[in-house]
Amino acid sequence: MNLKIALFAYNFPHKKTQDFIFRLLAEGLKIEVIYAADPVKLNIPPSGIKTKINHLGLLHPRKIAENLGIDYMVVNHDSAELCEDSRNRKINLGIIAGARILKEHIIDSFSLGIINFHPGVIPYARGLDALLWSVYYKHPLGVTAHLVDKRVDAGRIIEIQEISIYKKDTLLDLSERLYEIQLDMLLSSVQKVAENKTYELADYGSYNRKMPLEEERVTLTLLSDYLEKYGK
């Protein structure tokens, strides 16, 4: 099948956007266009627990695209302009390297669908703070590659890969490993979609909200037991 891929990304230096561009090209997958959205202020309270590393040396995705000969379009991800452009280019597959929740009319405009990599095992860890809620409820940790639909963190499942866990891990270790496995899943996920090797889960579970501070504190106390249960 002739894949024509569009990458959903953010219009500012962003590690996942940067790494997805490089990994897709390294795997021999051509990116027809990058749809880059400007930052949006979200009404989500800050976390009391640090689960992300502050990275240095990030390049602006526009600079990367220009130097690699990839078309770069700053556009609202829910806009009619994006739909029209994807039709004109005959794009059939989207990959999310940075996006908010996409509207149904955007999803429907990609004939093969739009791939998202969720840092949690669906259906147990849908929604926000998947890492923290997984530790809180003692669910396994992994990444779910899926084709998005109008439901959040649902749609057809492409593949699920659990991460390795070690007894001396910190939340930062777990978070970074959840990120790194997404890169490893890129090529196989695209291939499975192209071959129509996806499956539907019967039960999608409940959607997790942003973890409140009190539950965050409890999660920290539960981490050692979690690592004892799952760690090597």
Residue 203 has pLDDT above 70, yes or no: no
First vs last Cα of the chain: how many Å apart?
41
What pLDDT is stored for residue 41 in this prediction? 80
At residue 182, the pLDDT reads: 98
- Residue 47 per-residue DSSP state: P
CB 91, CB 110: distance < 8 Å: yes
Neighbours of 16 (CB within 10 A): 16
Task: Specify the amino acid at residue 105.
Answer: H
Beta strand pairing call for 31-37 and 207-208: unpaired
- pLDDT given at position 153: 66
Domain residues of the chain, as ranges? Answer: 5-230
Q: Global pTM?
A: 0.94
DSSP category for residue 171? H
Q: What angle do CA 194, 199, 204 make, to 5 degrees?
A: 130
pLDDT at 99: 93
- What integer pLDDT is reported at residue 44 of this predicted model? 79
Percentage of the chain modeled with pLDDT above 70: 97
List pLDDT tens digits, range 171-190.
Answer: 999 999 999 999 999 999 99
**What's the confidence (pLDDT) of residue 155?**
78
The span from the CA of 48 to the CA of 42, in Å, is 17
Residues 207-216: tens digit of each pLDDT: 889 999 999 9
Is the bond preceding 46 in cis, omega lying within 30 degrees of 0? no
Lowest mean pLDDT among 9-23, 120-134, 190-204: 190-204
Residue 200 has pLDDT above 90, yes or no: no
Scored b (16 or more CB within 10 A) or e, 143-166 reads bbbbbbeeebbbbebbbbbebebe
Q: What is the pLDDT of residues 70-83, one digit of tens each?
A: 999 999 999 999 99
Name the fold adopted by 5-230.
Rossmann fold (3.40.50)
Mean pLDDT along residues 23-28: 97
